């Protein structure tokens, strides 16, 4: 049986999970992107990691939450990395209850081809203007970004600019997925693979309709299965599946999700890969497929409890909805389960208190689960579990506030930066503070057995740190470049089990700091190379749209 969290009245014990009361415009409330004027939904010019402060008689922190540029146009179904949550000290008692069973938690100077765009289908009307618009200065490529590179800094290996004409509202970028020597992404109606070595295009696959869902990770064999809309009409259902070999770009099997005999609106699709199994979860059920041949393995399980999303990775953890009436949205009744993805069999269960939802899996081995309670006063809790699904501890934040940046609510449950864990430690990024006109933060390590703080390491002034994952006993972190004049670049850093001084793994050049800032990125680090991949592509014109840098690769 799962063990209950520490008991007591509010105020008797500090920990994550008591009511969190965000202030208007302050950290903690989910960001609701708003449309920008103009047919393309202009990309924000605010640098990554720091919203642009407005001139004031006295410097004041900006009112948009840290980690994201100002509001951007995000059509429904698009991916946003703008959801953040602030966390305050409180008690977890009463948030989680005893569970049963066993569980899991979470061509040219650019080195790129100079090929023509794959498609030209923008339908935006021309902007009326008495005079022609001034010609924009093209964004610099790798050679220009490397001109000011200093000793000890890695070079910009290559830059890819957008090569897909997207709709007027822009398009979300899905991926990246790295396998072998290829990095691949999908956007709008195209999937593309590039060489990790020099950024040259290896393949491009035209798709019949918009990409609407995808797993965070590919299979070990380098295959991905993406969701595609059933047609090109706006609002078409996300019910088609397409397997793609990422090494070659060849399209494999296809399938159509079965929506017969039940209310299946295909809402909030969560896709995950566990071994050779793909799961496609949504509000009312999950379908499982064998990736290698497309065989349908299972779907709706007996009883009321149905998994609505898995986390990708070696430990298949699932978020399970046990509501008897699917329309009863005000009272979630959920469980965390470790399940066999090939059969749907439950290995163990951790019961979450009614009214709370599973938000994200920050780690699957060990299990670290983010929970939330929606409403006028959103609440956030973190549960630390043992590998058998029993309760282990809860973090004790003291006076610190924390932020973890994840994908848009309703999409995948395993796509966060700002939290990482190993066998005995949880690493969390603190909420950035506005100091001397710039943002900075720290990383705090928690003991998984007690929830107590082990150590705290601050980021360099005017920069922020985001835990990514633990590798070879060290936590890898993304260091953002400063917001002001480029004194230094961003990069990948590391901290050992005892904290201490930051160790440089890969220092991005200060000469590329401005280019790194304009991204709303996904960040990947593999085999001595780091990739900054933009999360959304758009522009005021076709020319501007095609000049957007979609990937910057760093490395020696």
Distance CA 360, CA 336 (A): 11
Per DSSP, what are the bridge partners of residue 466? 478
Element (H, E) at 456: strand 453-458
- For 250, the token pair is 């060849």
Helix (H) or strand (E) holding 471: strand 465-471
Model confidence band, residue 331 (pLDDT cutoffs 50, 70, 90): confident
Q: Are 149 and 164 in contact (CB under 8 A)?
A: no
pLDDT value at position 173?
Answer: 93
Query: Of 487, 488, 521, 509, which is closest to residue 554 (Cα–Cα)?
Result: 509
CA 527 – CA 186 distance, rounded (Å): 23
Q: What is the pLDDT of residues 431-458, one digit of tens each?
A: 999 988 889 999 999 999 999 999 999 9
Q: What is the DSSP string of 281-293?
A: EETTEEEEEETTT
Q: Report, as an integer, the average pLDDT of 206-222.
A: 96
Report d(CA 43, CA 545) in Å as an integer.
9
**Dist CA 238 CA 235 (whole Å):** 9
Q: Identify the pLDDT of residue 13.
A: 37
> Long-range contacts: 356-360, Cβ < 8 Å, 24+?
356/95, 356/96, 356/332, 356/381, 357/332, 358/319, 358/334, 358/413, 359/406, 359/409, 359/413, 360/106, 360/404, 360/406, 360/413, 360/414, 360/415, 360/416
> Has residue 108 got a pLDDT over 90?
no
φ, ψ of residue 515 to 5 degrees: the values are -65, -40
The H-or-E segment that residue 150 falls in is none
C-alpha span between 66 and 402 (Å, rounded): 11
Whole-model pTM: value is 0.78
The number of residues making up the chain comes to 556
> Is there a cis peptide before residue 78, judged by omega within 30 degrees of 0?
no
pLDDT at 315 over 80: yes
Query: pLDDT-derived band of residue 23, with 50, 70 and 90 as boundaries?
Result: very low
The winner for highest mean pLDDT among 100-104, 134-138, 490-494 is 490-494
């Amino acid at each position: 049986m799962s063990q209950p969290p520490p008991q007591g009245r509010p105020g008797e014990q500090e920990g994550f999970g008591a009511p969190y009361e965000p202030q208007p415009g302050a950290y903690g409330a989910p960001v609701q992107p708003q449309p920008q004027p103009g047919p393309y939904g202009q990309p924000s010019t605010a640098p990554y990691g720091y919203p642009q402060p407005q001139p004031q008689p006295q410097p004041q922190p900006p009112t948009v939450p840290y980690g994201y540029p100002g509001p951007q146009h995000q059509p429904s179904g698009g991916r946003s990395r703008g959801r953040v949550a602030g966390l305050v000290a409180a008690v977890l008692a009463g948030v989680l209850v005893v569970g049963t069973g066993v569980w899991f938690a979470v061509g040219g100077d650019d080195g790129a081809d100079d090929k023509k765009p794959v498609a030209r289908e923008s339908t935006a009307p021309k902007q009326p203007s008495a005079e022609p618009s001034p010609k924009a200065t093209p964004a610099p490529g790798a050679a220009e970004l490397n001109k000011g590179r200093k000793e000890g800094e890695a070079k910009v290996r290559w830059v890819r600019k957008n090569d897909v004409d997207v709709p007027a509202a822009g398009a979300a970028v899905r991926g990246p997925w790295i396998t072998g020597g290829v990095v691949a992404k999908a956007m709008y109606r195209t999937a593309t693979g590039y060489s990790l070595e020099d950024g040259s295009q290896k393949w491009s696959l035209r798709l019949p309709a918009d990409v609407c869902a995808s797993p965070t990770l590919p299979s070990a064999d380098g295959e991905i299965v993406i969701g595609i809309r059933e047609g090109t009409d706006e609002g078409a259902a996300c019910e088609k599946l397409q397997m793609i070999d990422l090494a070659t770009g060849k399209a494999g099997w296809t399938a159509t999700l079965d929506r017969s005999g039940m209310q299946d609106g295909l809402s909030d699709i969560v896709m995950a890969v566990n071994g050779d199994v793909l799961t496609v979860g949504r509000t009312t059920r999950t379908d499982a497929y064998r990736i290698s041949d497309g065989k349908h393995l299972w779907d709706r399980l007996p009883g009321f409890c149905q998994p609505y999303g898995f986390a990708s990775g070696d430990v298949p953890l699932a978020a399970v909805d046990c509501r008897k009436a699917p329309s009863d949205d005000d009272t979630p009744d959920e469980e965390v389960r470790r399940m066999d993805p090939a059969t749907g069999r439950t290995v163990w269960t951790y019961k979450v208190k009614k009214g709370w939802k599973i938000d994200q899996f920050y780690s699957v081995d060990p299990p670290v689960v983010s929970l939330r309670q929606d409403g006028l006063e959103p609440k956030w809790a973190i549960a630390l579990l043992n590998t058998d699904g029993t309760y282990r501890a809860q973090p004790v934040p003291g006076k610190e506030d924390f932020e973890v940046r994840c994908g848009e609510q309703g999409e995948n449950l395993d796509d966060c930066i700002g939290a990482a864990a190993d066998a005995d430690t949880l690493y969390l990024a603190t909420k950035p503070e506005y100091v001397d006109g710039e943002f900075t933060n720290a990383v705090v390590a928690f003991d998984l057995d007690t929830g107590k703080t082990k150590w705290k390491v601050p980021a360099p002034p005017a920069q922020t740190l985001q835990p990514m994952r633990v590798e070879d006993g060290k936590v890898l972190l993304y260091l953002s470049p400063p917001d002001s004049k480029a004194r230094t670049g961003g990069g990948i850093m590391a901290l050992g089990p005892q904290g201490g001084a930051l160790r440089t793994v890969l220092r991005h050049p200060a000469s590329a700091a401005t280019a790194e800032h304009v991204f709303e990125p996904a960040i990947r680090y593999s085999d001595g190379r780091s990739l900054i991949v933009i999360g959304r592509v758009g522009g005021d014109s076709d020319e501007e749209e095609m000049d957007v840098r979609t990937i910057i690769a760093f490395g020696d």
